[in-house]
Amino acid sequence: MMRTKLFQLSLILITVLTLLVSCQKEIDGTMDGVINPANLTPKVGTIWTYSYYWWNSPGGTTNAKTINHVARSEETIGAEKWLRIVDVETDTTVYFLQVKADGLYHYVNNNAYLLCKYPAAINDTYTSFIGGSTSNFTVRGVNDTTATAIGSIPLTKYEAVKAGDIIDVLWYNKNSWIVWKYQYARITIPIPTNVYYLINKMFLEKIVY
């Protein structure tokens, strides 16, 4: 009789623990690496974890680290509410972001600029502000299901061009926002030779809502 009661109690405890773990995964916004449920979007407290790689010179050593961005607060700017995204390591503001009807906006240079147009069609174009000046953006892919560290999710791809060079490439998902990002630069090295190269890239590894 005692053994039977212990066995029954063990089953109840296992069931309760399984339910608690399942609920926690849903609260975090991930379920075995896949965003769940599909309508979760970033809010105050959301944390993005990225793998970040950078190069200090063309053909130089590859540097790597993990970076964390957190939606630290909601700020009112120009009568609109923006999420302030902060780099955890440096405690500096990376973006002010807000989703509007036509996509993800960022507040920079005292204005709101469309960063990732969504919904979008391939070859849609628009002007935004990035890297200290205006750039011409073109949509290069729309809702392409792509294998990422957080699962196979639809990504929309954007290229930003400045002075004839692609200087930024972004991949956007409506639930996790910036998933991948590449940045390029053109520099003049000793002897007047222009060198255009990838200076950094980052990949989203995890998002906790």
Same-domain pairing of 146 and 178: yes
Residue 8 confidence (pLDDT) above 80 = no
Structurally, the chain folds into a number of domains equal to 2
Q: Which pLDDT does position 194 carry in this prediction?
A: 80
Residues in the chain: 209
In angstroms, rounded to a whole number, what is the distance separating the alpha carbons of residues 20 and 106? 37
* Long-range contacts (CB closer than 8 Å, 24 or more residues apart) made by 84-91: 88/47
Q: pLDDT for 91-109, tens place per residue?
A: 999 999 999 999 999 999 9
- Residues 23, 98 within the same domain: no
The pTM (predicted TM-score) of the whole model is 0.82
Looking at the fold, whether 15 and 49 belong to one and the same domain comes out as no
Q: Rg of the Cα trace of the chain? A: 21
Residues contacting 209, CB < 8 A, separation 6+ = 27, 28, 29, 40, 41, 42, 43, 45, 46
Strands 165-173 and 151-162: antiparallel
Looking up residue 152, the CATH number of its domain turns out to be 2.40.360
Position 191 pLDDT exceeds 60 = no
Residues 159/140, Cβ–Cβ less than 8 Å:
yes
161 shares a domain with 116: yes
**Closest C-alpha to 45, from 14, 86, 78:** 86
Tell me the average pLDDT across 145-160. Answer: 96
Residue range(s) defining the domain that contains residue 177: 32-208
Does residue 48 sit in the same domain as residue 20?
A: no
**Residue 87 sits in the same domain as residue 178:** yes
Residue 4 sits in the same domain as residue 62: no
Same domain, 1 and 73: no
Q: Which of 158, 127, 130 lies closest to 144, judged by CA?
A: 158
- 25 in the same domain as 126: no
pLDDT of residue 38: 61
Residue with tokens 């599909």: 38
Q: Kindly state the average pLDDT of the residues 52-79.
A: 96
Residues 162 and 64 placed together within one structural domain of the fold: yes
Strand (E) or helix (H) holding 33: none
**28 or 122, which is more confident?**
122
